[in-house]
Amino acid sequence: MKISVRESVGTHTLLVIAVFFAVYPLGSIIISSLQKASGPGIGWGNFSIAWNRGHFASALISSALVAASVVLITAIISCLAGYALATMRVPGGRLILGVLLVGLVLPYEVTVLPLYQMLSGWGLINTYWALILPQIGLSVPLGVFWMRAFFRSVPEEILEAARLDGASRLQTLRLALLPIAGPAIATLSTILFLFTWNEFLLALILIPDNQAVQTAPLALSFFSGTDRSSNPYVTAAAAVLVAVPIIIAYVVLQRRLITGLTSGAVK
């Protein structure tokens, strides 16, 4: 279908405007982070001040540890549960899907107080587990629905061929399905990583007093609210430090992310 010049110009104009609004906030923060408070000019001094005073080294390590644990455990559970619900007759399967759907649409803010009371009773407040366990529980519904949808889209001939070769159900999953599930798993992992890294409310409620396990968003919040970071340029540098891992992860994984999101549309 031929596109007219007017339609092409209009489309590109809208895209340029959208890109501007998307890039402007990040660009303004980066520019602010390079400015010197003492006078005109640019430099990297704000990053050094923010890094040393905000203890972002341990915060970034904590965020990486929590995000990696949540993504790995959720991906394993989602693959196993999604495979079972997609290819087997699971007793109470519809009920399980209904419960997972409730977990998917229920605002997690309503679970914060019960989570705090439960984890406090277990003695897990201000530990890594206080973040890892709830975020696994919050991520599993999405992961199970995601992988179930993928496994249901796999041609039945692949499963039948595995059965004829004498493969067990676990062997079918490991040898026949997981090798072709790479884009779906990579996309799910990317989404979970982004959500987990940016999580703030749970960290604020469940690990407020232990600086050793505070994640990057929480450390940024505490840093920007103290008198020592009253310099807005230093605060901007701290925000860039927290955002850099997310930007790098997205740039590296964006092709797999887009491939996984669009693969279902072209099957």
**148-193 pLDDT tens trace:** 999 998 888 888 888 888 888 889 998 889 988 888 898 899 889 9
For residue 69, which of 199, 183, 184 has the smallest C-alpha distance? 199
Band of residue 39 on the pLDDT scale cut at 50, 70, 90 = low
pLDDT band at 257 (very low <50, low <70, confident <90, very high): low
Residues ≥6 apart with Cβ < 8 Å to 89: none
Tokens 């609004």 locate to: 21
Q: Are 196 and 139 in contact (CB under 8 A)?
A: yes
Q: Domains along the chain?
A: 35-263 (1.10.3720.10)
If phi > 0 it is left, if psi is from -120 to 50 it is alpha, else beta; for residue 41 that is left
Q: Are 87 and 156 in contact (CB under 8 A)?
A: no
**Residue range 59-78, pLDDT digits in tens:** 999 999 999 999 999 999 99
Cα gap 129→136, rounded to integer Å? 10
For residues 91 and 98, give the distance between their C-alpha atoms in angstroms, rounded to a whole number. 13
Q: What is the dihedral of CA 168, 171, 176, 177, to 10 degrees?
A: 100
* Residues 84-100 as b or e (16 or more Cβ within 10 Å = b): bbbbeeeeeeeeebeeb
Q: What does the alpha-carbon distance between residue 35 and residue 28 come to, in Å, rounded to a whole number?
A: 11
Instruction: Work out the angle between the directed axes of helices 216-224 and 182-198 (0-180°, nearest 10).
Output: 20
Residue 3, pLDDT > 90, answer: no
pLDDT single digits (tens) 13-23: 888 898 888 88
